[in-house]
Every structure is written in C-alpha cells, then in structure tokens.
C-alpha cells in the first residue's frame, strides 16, 4: 500500500504567512489572537513537516530562506482556497464591486492572469479596472475613485502602502541596436522616454550625466505601448524594469551605468472597509504575479 503524503497544517501555514507579512511573530500573534509562543510552535511544526528551515532572523525582522520563498506562494494559495471553501459552504462568497488601478507596466502584462484567476474563483464580484500612469492612479485613490492600486513607489511617497519588492531599472533595446558603436564614436545615445515628470526618466538621465555619456531624447510617448513600439522599431533605447518587457527586446547589460532600483507598492483607497476580503485576495494575487516575474 502506497504511503500517503503528509498534509501541511493550515493553521501553521497561516501563522507562517502572517509572520512574514507582519515582519515578526510577536505582531503575527497579536493579529491571530494567539500567544507568541503558540505561533512560534506552529512554525516549528511546519518546518518539521517540510523537513527544512523556512525563516531566519534578520535583526528584529524575519527573512525567508530559499525553502521559505518556495513555500510562501503555495501557502497563500492554500489559505485562499481554504477561506474560499468556507465562505462557499456558509453562503458567503465574495459579492459586490471592486475598483482597482494598475500602472501600465503591470496592467498590460499581469492583469489578464490576475483578473482571470480572481474571476474564476469569485464570479459574484464585478471588477472595474483602470490602467494608467502613477500620478493619475494616486489622484484617483485620493479622490476615492479606486479601492486599491498597484504602482511604482515615488521617491518621496506621501502615502503609506505595502512595499512588495524593489525591481532593478534596466536599459532596454532592440536586439540589433548597437549601443557599443555609439559609445565608441561619442555619439549621443538616442532615448525613448515618457514625457516629464516620470519616475524612471529622471534617474536614467542622471546616471548618464554622471558617467559623461551624451544623450538626446528622440521619441516621447504618453503611453507605454508607444514606448515599446518605438524601441521595437529601433528608434532608440529606454529605461524600464523587466516587468512587461516584450519578448523581442533585450536588456542592454553592464555597458551602460545602472539607473538604480524602483519599488512597487500596493496602495489602498479611502474606503478602508469596503470589500476588505476582495482586496486581500487580489493583493495576494498581484504580489505572487510580480514575485514570479522577479
């Protein structure tokens, strides 16, 4: 008789996920209405079931081990499915409307998968999605037009949001575009950019100036699709992250100086209690989709 696989403990998984989201087991214990020792014991139980260490201390905070990084995505999906099953049995499946905003990079590349999975599990929810640039989404949040938004983190952010991760800014070009020859001859680097203000344009131009590399903006677009079209046509190079980068383009590499990193945050609207469960589920889906790209 084949031996049955060990079943992971859902309560232990919940403590694990909550501990990582809170940054400490003490805070997780408060949120879960348990003692800190009980939450720690559940983590030890989960590590025993997995046969691997899942978290390590980083000062006062928790940090995932490589095995923990593998488990966290599965844990969130298992918990979401468990919670959905309970709501279905109790007749409490998500109903209503949620209004979400996504910055163009995320909207064009991640939105179909995120919204498709959400709708399959929650057909009673009506989704109103808006894909736009950062400032427009921030204004919509402030004016209570959106319930939540996934966007780039401004350098001097005035709003508090959940930082999902930092992504490196990359110089992106057509595969046949010859940056080396331009640099060898001292010719200005042709750039494809958004019009100002732009969170990526400013550090890109600054790093070129620091390196003494001449440049000129040859194409300006108000939309991301226009940026990608110009780069695909070989008009010049641009600066974005790898999120949503078309498959026929490539990263230039270390031949040009790095423009740095940019954070991605999940921001909540003014109606903090509106569709809290739906916002939680969508937030997890967005986070998983972004981390899978990284």
- Kindly report whether the global pTM for this prediction surpasses the value 0.85: no
Q: How much is the average pLDDT of 231-254?
A: 92
pLDDT(169) > 90: yes
User: Residues 258, 168: contact at Cβ < 8 Å?
Assistant: yes
Domain 170-259 listed as CATH 3.40.980.10: no
Handedness of CA 203, 206, 212, 215 (dihedral sign): positive
Domain 10-90 fold = Arc Repressor Mutant, subunit A (1.10.10)
Return the beta strands (E) in the chain as ranges.
55-58, 61-64, 96-103, 125-132, 148-152, 162-168, 170-174, 189-194, 215-221, 238-240, 249-251, 261-268
Which of 62-71, 269-278, 285-294 has the largest mean confidence? 62-71
Beta bridge partners of 117: none
Give the residue ranges of DSSP H helices in 90-170: 104-109, 111-121, 134-142
Lowest-pLDDT range of 158-162, 178-182, 198-202, 241-245 = 158-162
**pLDDT tier for residue 191 given thresholds of 50, 70 and 90:** very high
Dig out the tokens for 32 from the structure.
Answer: 């879960």
Q: Which residues contact 136 (CB under 8 A, 6 or more apart)?
A: none
pLDDT(273) > 70: no
Three-state SS at 227: helix
> What does the mean pLDDT of the chain come to?
85
Residue 161 is predicted with a pLDDT of 77
> Whole-angstrom Cα distance, residue 252 to residue 240?
11
Dig out the tokens for 158 from the structure.
Answer: 């005035």
| CB-side neighbour CA atoms (13 Å) of 126 | 2
The helix (H) or strand (E) run that includes residue 290 is: helix 276-293
Q: How much is the average pLDDT of 9-13?
A: 90
Residue 112 is predicted with a pLDDT of 80
Lowest-pLDDT range of 118-127, 220-229, 235-244 = 118-127
DSSP type of residue 77: H
DSSP type of residue 188: P
Q: What percent of the chain has pLDDT over 70?
A: 90
Do 10-90 and 96-166+263-292 agree at the fold level? no
Q: How much is the average pLDDT of 241-246?
A: 89
Domain 96-166+263-292, CATH among 3.30.497.10, 1.10.3720.10, 3.40.190.10, 3.30.420.40: 3.40.190.10
Three-state SS at 242: coil
Domain assignments of the chain as residue spans, ordered by start: 10-90, 96-166+263-292, 170-259
Choice between 157 and 170, residue whose per-residue pLDDT is larger? 170
Residue 158 is predicted with a pLDDT of 61
pLDDT tens for residues 84-102?
Answer: 777 766 655 667 888 999 8
**pLDDT tier for residue 1 given thresholds of 50, 70 and 90:** very low
pLDDT(83) > 60: yes
């Amino acid at each position: 008789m084949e031996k049955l696989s060990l079943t992971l403990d859902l309560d232990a998984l919940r403590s694990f996920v909550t501990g990582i989201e809170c940054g400490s087991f003490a805070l997780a214990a408060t949120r879960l209405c348990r003692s800190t020792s009980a939450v720690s014991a559940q983590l030890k139980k989960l590590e025993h079931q997995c046969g691997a260490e899942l978290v390590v201390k980083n000062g006062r905070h928790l940090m995932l081990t490589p095995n923990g990084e593998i488990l966290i995505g599965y844990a969130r999906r298992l918990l979401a499915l468990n919670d959905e099953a309970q709501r279905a049995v109790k007749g409490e499946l998500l109903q209503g409307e949620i209004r979400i905003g996504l910055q163009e990079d995320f909207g064009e590349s991640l939105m179909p998968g995120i919204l498709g999975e959400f709708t399959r599990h929650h057909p009673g929810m009506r989704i109103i999605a808006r894909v736009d640039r950062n400032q427009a989404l921030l204004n919509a949040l402030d004016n209570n037009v959106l319930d939540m938004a996934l966007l780039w983190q401004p350098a001097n952010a005035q709003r508090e949001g959940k930082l999902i991760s930092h992504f490196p800014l990359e110089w992106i070009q057509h595969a046949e575009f010859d940056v080396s020859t331009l640099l060898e001859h001292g010719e200005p680097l042709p750039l494809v950019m958004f019009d100002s203000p732009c969170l990526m344009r400013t550090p890109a131009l600054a790093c070129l100036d620091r390196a003494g590399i001449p440049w000129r903006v040859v194409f300006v677009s108000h939309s991301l699709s226009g940026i990608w079209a110009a780069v695909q046509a070989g008009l010049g190079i641009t600066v974005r992250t790898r999120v949503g980068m078309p498959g026929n383009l490539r990263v230039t590499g270390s031949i040009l100086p790095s423009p740095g990193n940019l954070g991605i945050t999940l921001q909540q609207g003014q109606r903090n209690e509106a569709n809290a469960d739906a916002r939680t589920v969508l937030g997890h889906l967005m986070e998983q989709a972004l981390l899978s790209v990284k």
